[in-house]
Amino acid sequence: MKEKEGLEKQLSASVLKFQDMEDAMLKIERERSAWNRQVEDLKSKLEVELTKRVELEHDNSSLEKDLKVHKDTVSEHEKNAAGLRKELTLKNQELHKAISLQDKTIVEHVHVLEEAKKYTDRQLSEAQALLRDQTGQLKLLDRTVARLKGEAEDLTRELQKEKAQNRQSHAQHRRVSGANDNKNEVHLLKLNLDKEKVARNQAEANGWFSYLLSLSIKVDYKQNSDSFLCHQSGSCRLSLRMHKKGSQVWAMLDGARMQK
């Protein structure tokens, strides 16, 4: 009888132990399913980050090509500006030659002075209009460059923050290196995701730096008309100086704003 009671107690204990084991197995299965779902989610995010990185690298390559094209355009415009300055010098020489013919009749003299005055007035009006337009564009360019520099600094700070988080992730990985296989796989995927984020931010920062470099190119066209002399009731001198920025830089700036 005592043996029977002992066996019944052992049987009850075994049943309870078996039930506990079943509960533990169910809990483990639920945790395993949750880890598997998390692994799949991280894999999807990693694929998205890889795609973004490839796109940013492609954009960066395109910006570098555009920068080379703009540099070639700047060189071409500088050559054109040299030709225009030479032509302006010839025109000034012709003007001086015309003014030097003051020993002709009073009618011819007055006619030459009137034509010279009309010419200088027209050039002065055009120069003033051009100066107002270029002043507004220069202010816009300064504001845009300042804003882009600020964005570049923000990207740099974000990149440093990502690097710090990456180092922390490595430290956490060393502390939890004894976890099970599923946890290790999740952690490795997280580390890969962090690395891809850092690489993507680096590529984006490089793209902005290339863009800022292209914006910093300034094209100067200097057209100097030394002097227009006229003599009517005394002597007067009008000197007109023109400073012109290349339209190619503004076209590039407008295109960049449209892309953004």
Does residue 55 carry a pLDDT above 70?
yes
> What is the Cβ-side half-sphere exposure of residue 221, based on CA atoms within 13 angstroms?
24
Residue-number span of the structural domain to which 197 is assigned: 2-259
Determine contact, residues 154/204, Cβ cutoff 8 Å: no
Q: Look at residue 129 and give its three-state secondary structure.
A: helix
pLDDT of 133-154, one tens digit each? 888 888 887 888 788 788 778 8
Distance of CA 120 to the CA centre of its chain: 43
* Global pTM value: 0.27
Q: Looking at the 3D structure of the chain, how many domains does it have?
A: 1
Q: Taking residues 2-9, report their average pLDDT.
A: 75
Query: 257: closest CA among 156, 134, 143?
Result: 143
- pLDDT of res. 158: 81
What average pLDDT does the segment 145-164 reach? 79
Tell me which amino acid residue 193 is.
Answer: L
Which pLDDT band, with edges at 50, 70 and 90, does 185 fall under?
low
Burial pattern 15-48, b for ≥16 Cβ within 10 A else e, equals eeeeeeeeeeeeeeeeeeeebeebeeebeebbee
| 119 in Cβ contact with 228 (< 8 Å) | yes
* Cβ neighbourhood burial of 130 (10 Å; 0-12, 13-18, 19+): middle
Could you report the per-residue pLDDT of 82-120, keeping only the tens digit for each?
Answer: 889 999 999 888 888 877 776 666 666 677 788 888 888
- Binned at pLDDT 50, 70 and 90, residue 224 comes out as very low
